[in-house]
Structure 1
Amino acid sequence: MVARRRRAAAVYYLSVLPFVLFSLFPFYWMVVTSFKQNSEMYDLRAIPFWFRQPPTLEHYAFLFSRTHFLTWMGNNVVVAVVSTAAAVAISILAAYALARLRFRGSDALGGTIFAVYLVPTTLLFIPLSQVLGFLRLVDTRWALIVSYPTFLVPFATWLLMSYFRTIPYDMEESAMIDGCTRLGALWRVVLPTAIPGVLTAMLFSFTLSWNEFIYAVTFVSSTAQKTIGPGVVTELIRGDVFYWGELMAGAVLGSVPIAAAYAFLLDYYIAGLTAGAVK
């Protein structure tokens, strides 16, 4: 019996291994390239997957000393945190209303909200630019903070709707019988129970806003207001000259916060995703 379980486990892990390697290879390539010397990157005799010359930190030094990378990182943090907080707060109220309140067209409205998320950002940035221009927010961080919830709220609302529906309504009824208002029941009963779903929505929203590129490169042009993605690409690609080491160093540093967030919140993330899958 033990041998059979070991063989089954070995088959399982061997079947998963190619997908794991496929997923981790881009990050491995970024890390290795960010530490390579420029002469080695352009040497056809060099080993592309490892080092032939001693690793160097010159690309990271260039990034911190000769670009505005720390400013871009700070802008990214502010934009991602504020837009995520605003989007999740709005989504909690919207998802709770669609999951609990009964009114005509509630089901259709829930599906419509998710359909809005599927609209490509390449179709929305033109009308959004007109709105942001009217509000005089173009070329500021507020342009991104205001525009990001347009695609964060639909997805987070749809995700939280399915989670709220798994919470027994009897808990809220008991709280309201004891004197809570509906908002009080939401704050004191529903939200503590729905923490895995809320954290999952926050994690998804933070990831989407952190990695967003089209709005960031369209609505912001000044170097001091850029986020990491547009800043690294526009400042380190000059005509036909690509600063590959610095580009890879920026990609590595830009991916660290997301990797850390998923590592620390993995259990909540899995619980939030699977909540509506089993009845």
Structure 2
Amino acid sequence: MHKNTFVKWETIYRYFVLCVVFLIVIFPYYWIVVTSFKTMGQISSAKSIFIPNPFTLKNYTHLIKDTHFLLWFKNSLSVAIVTVIITLILSNLAAYSIGRIRFRGKKLIATLVLVFYLFPPTVIFIPLYLMLNKIGLTNKLEGVMLIYPTITLAFSTWFLISFYRSIPMELEEAALIDGASRFQAFRKVILPLTLPAQTAAAIFSFSWCWDEFLYALVFLQDVGKQTMNIGVYEFSLADIYPWGLLMSAGVLMSIPVIVLYVFVQKYMIRGLTAGAVKE
């Protein structure tokens, strides 16, 4: 009887802690959404704090009709998609070579990949700017599309190496014996098995591009070329913050990433645990 009572109270305590943690995590998001539906008067006077009264869509209307938000959204989406494609192509080729092909200096290259991943982006943005300036790609989305993979490529390669190593060599050897070339064995046998890891690497690359601020601020000056983060940042004038506009922009900016995670979370979990155990 005493043991059952202890288990019951332990369960209640665990659920209580989980609820408290959940509320702490979810409250900022709730606050953003609620504030986006408030008038400026409600926000400045701290009225109707938890529920908008009156409920208004003026912030969203103003954001879409009177700013370049949709153009910024398109720019951010284009940059993120191109970066993900470049990252996946190059990181797969690099990770496959390092993880499955024997050659001299392989361990050194794998170590350098990790070192480059650990490099803070702020260290290299000046050299990158000088390089883009020389080839005439500053203030162009194409330049940012070339620069972003310098950050995402190192992580994706390092992440995929362990997954490629975990795939049994016998699968590839069987394909080679059947007459397939190494590239055919990679494309038709090995690559399909890496879908969960590809998904995790793609989500990381997309999320990083979607949230990136520093490079976009340095490389893109024209309003029509800016990404969302820079455009929304410029809504603020000195110490004046249009909170309703900022919060509505924050809600719309979060939707693509949330939708992406919801639809691919199954593959994301597989990808994050893939390669953790060696066969």
Tell me: CA distance 1:52–1:60, structure 2 relative to 1, closer, same or farther (3 Å): closer
Structure 1 residue 135: Cα displacement:
1.2
2:255 aligned partner, one-letter code:
V
Once residues 271 and 4 of structure 1 are traced to their aligned partners in structure 2, the CA distance between those partners, rounded to angstroms, is: 36
- 1:31 and 2:33 aligned: yes
Structure 1 residue 13: Cα displacement:
4.2
- 1:196 and 2:196 aligned: yes
1:1-279 equivalences under 5 Å are 12-44=14-46, 46-48=47-49, 50-51=50-51, 53-234=53-234, 236-279=235-278
Structure 1 residue 141: Cα displacement:
0.6
Instruction: Give the RMSD, CA atoms, in angstroms.
Output: 2.0
1:264 aligned partner, one-letter code:
F
Structure 1 residue 10: Cα displacement:
5.3
Structure 1 residue 277: Cα displacement:
2.4
Once residues 104 and 64 of structure 1 are traced to their aligned partners in structure 2, the CA distance between those partners, rounded to angstroms, is: 56
Once residues 256 and 52 of structure 1 are traced to their aligned partners in structure 2, the CA distance between those partners, rounded to angstroms, is: 21
Structure 1 stretches lacking a partner, 5+ long = none
Once residues 198 and 262 of structure 1 are traced to their aligned partners in structure 2, the CA distance between those partners, rounded to angstroms, is: 14
1:266 aligned partner, one-letter code:
Q
Tell me: CA distance 1:180–1:52, structure 2 relative to 1, closer, same or farther (3 Å): closer
Structure 1 residue 47: Cα displacement:
4.7
Q: Percent identity?
A: 37
Structure 1 residue 3: Cα displacement:
10
Tell me: CA distance 1:196–1:14, structure 2 relative to 1, closer, same or farther (3 Å): farther
Tell me: CA distance 1:257–1:9, structure 2 relative to 1, closer, same or farther (3 Å): farther
Once residues 151 and 28 of structure 1 are traced to their aligned partners in structure 2, the CA distance between those partners, rounded to angstroms, is: 32
Structure 1 residue 175: Cα displacement:
0.7
Size of the aligned set, in residue pairs, is 276
Contact 2:35 2:52 in 1 (8 A): no
Structure 1 residue 53: Cα displacement:
2.0
Once residues 277 and 8 of structure 1 are traced to their aligned partners in structure 2, the CA distance between those partners, rounded to angstroms, is: 32
Once residues 221 and 241 of structure 2 are traced to their aligned partners in structure 1, the CA distance between those partners, rounded to angstroms, is: 20
Structure 1 residue 163: Cα displacement:
1.1
Structure 2 stretches lacking a partner, 5+ long = none
**1:214-237 alpha-carbon deviations (Å, 9 max, x no partner):** 001110010100111001111x11
1:37 aligned partner, one-letter code:
T
Structure 1 residue 104: Cα displacement:
2.4
Structure 1 residue 106: Cα displacement:
1.4
**1:157-205 alpha-carbon deviations (Å, 9 max, x no partner):** 0111111111111111111111111111111011111100011101111
Once residues 64 and 106 of structure 1 are traced to their aligned partners in structure 2, the CA distance between those partners, rounded to angstroms, is: 51
Tell me: CA distance 1:98–1:33, structure 2 relative to 1, closer, same or farther (3 Å): same
1:193 aligned partner, one-letter code:
L
Once residues 10 and 244 of structure 1 are traced to their aligned partners in structure 2, the CA distance between those partners, rounded to angstroms, is: 39
Once residues 114 and 265 of structure 1 are traced to their aligned partners in structure 2, the CA distance between those partners, rounded to angstroms, is: 26
SS at match of 2:45: coil
Tell me: CA distance 1:217–1:167, structure 2 relative to 1, closer, same or farther (3 Å): same
TM-score normalised by the chain length of structure 1: 0.93
Once residues 108 and 249 of structure 1 are traced to their aligned partners in structure 2, the CA distance between those partners, rounded to angstroms, is: 48
Once residues 165 and 19 of structure 1 are traced to their aligned partners in structure 2, the CA distance between those partners, rounded to angstroms, is: 37
Tell me: CA distance 1:123–1:77, structure 2 relative to 1, closer, same or farther (3 Å): same
Tell me: CA distance 1:157–1:74, structure 2 relative to 1, closer, same or farther (3 Å): same
